Chain A
Amino acid sequence: MRESRLMLVQYATAVAAVALVSLHLIMQGVIYPYATAISFNNILSVYRNGFYAIFLEALLVVVLVHGFNGVRIILKEFRQSKPWNMWVDAGTVLAIVVTVAYGTRTVILAVFGGTA
């Protein structure tokens, strides 16, 4: 993908992250008191509400794409060469895939897994 497109991805995920992170923080300290928000039963009910499960998955993808693409941009500011660009791009994609997969696993197990 062209760098100009990747910058647009960075801006789009930034705007989405501002909205999603704001809602996430409001849920943790405004809608519920913090102690209630992090209680096991409350988190389970949040995950098992379809809307919030999708919201948390979207938050995961948006923040990780924005974060790793941001690091990619910083690394390319430091140095420019064809092999460096290739390794940075490949590392970014790999990091996004691995971390999104791990976070998605948590969401899926929380939604569908049996309580231990």
Chain B
Amino acid sequence: MAVGEERAKNRRGIRGWLDPYHYNAERWAYLFQRVTGVAILLYVLGHLGDTSFFVGGPTGTGPSPSAWKFIGSIFENSFGHLILILVVLVVFFHGINGIRLILAEFGLILRKPSAIEYPYKPKGLGQGQRILIYVAIVVAVAAAVWAFLVLFEGMG
């Protein structure tokens, strides 16, 4: 492969994320960790904005029941609650998958190194890491169900 082609292949940027060719569980986990991270940051920025209405918004000077009631009238509805459920879903996935990445970074759940053998297929992650990816998915879905029950069924 020519140097230019090699460089272009290695600089696919966000297209590289969105091209699922030859993706396995680890690669999907990598993609979702980044997508959920950016989504959570966007939510946090919005949450900074809406919670500031507790003190009257950007120009407020102290706790304001009327400003809080105003912002609640915008976000406290079925659509707002649906967004919160999605946030819970991605936060739990991001958190547990992130713990997996930290454990791997410090070498705690890596499989033993082995000799490279023909036909040189890339080896996937060890069982511990695979299990943690599936745990992240299951716990995230369970947390989203819990959020649904709290927000729509009045539990909690």
Chain A residues proximal to chain B, CB less than 8 Å = 7, 11, 14-15, 17-18, 21, 25, 29-30, 32-35, 38, 40, 43-44, 47, 60, 63-64, 67-68, 70-71, 74, 78-79, 99, 102-103, 105-106, 109-110, 112-116
Interface size class of B (residues with CB under 8 A): 35 or more
Binary CB contact string for chain B from 47 to 88 against chain A (1 if under 8 A, 0 otherwise): 010011011100011111111110010001000000000001
A32–B88 alpha-carbon span in the complex (Å): 17
How many cross-chain pairs have Cβ atoms below 8 Å apart between A and B?
Answer: 111
Residues of B within 8 A of A (CB): 11, 13-14, 34, 37-38, 40-41, 44-45, 48, 51-52, 54-56, 60-69, 72, 76, 88, 91, 95, 98-99, 102, 105, 146-147, 150-151, 154, 156
> Who on chain A is nearest to B53 by CB?
A106
- Whether the Cβ atoms of A35 and B48 lie closer than 8 Å is no
Q: What secondary structure prevails in chain A residues at the interface with B? A: helix
A114 and B98 CA atoms in complex are apart in Å by 41
Q: How far is the CA of A106 from the CA of B55 in the complex (A)?
A: 6
Chain B residue numbers with a CB within 8 Å of A7 are: 105
**A43 to B61 Cα, complex, angstroms:** 16
Cβ of A38: which chain B residues have Cβ within 8 Å of it?
72, 76
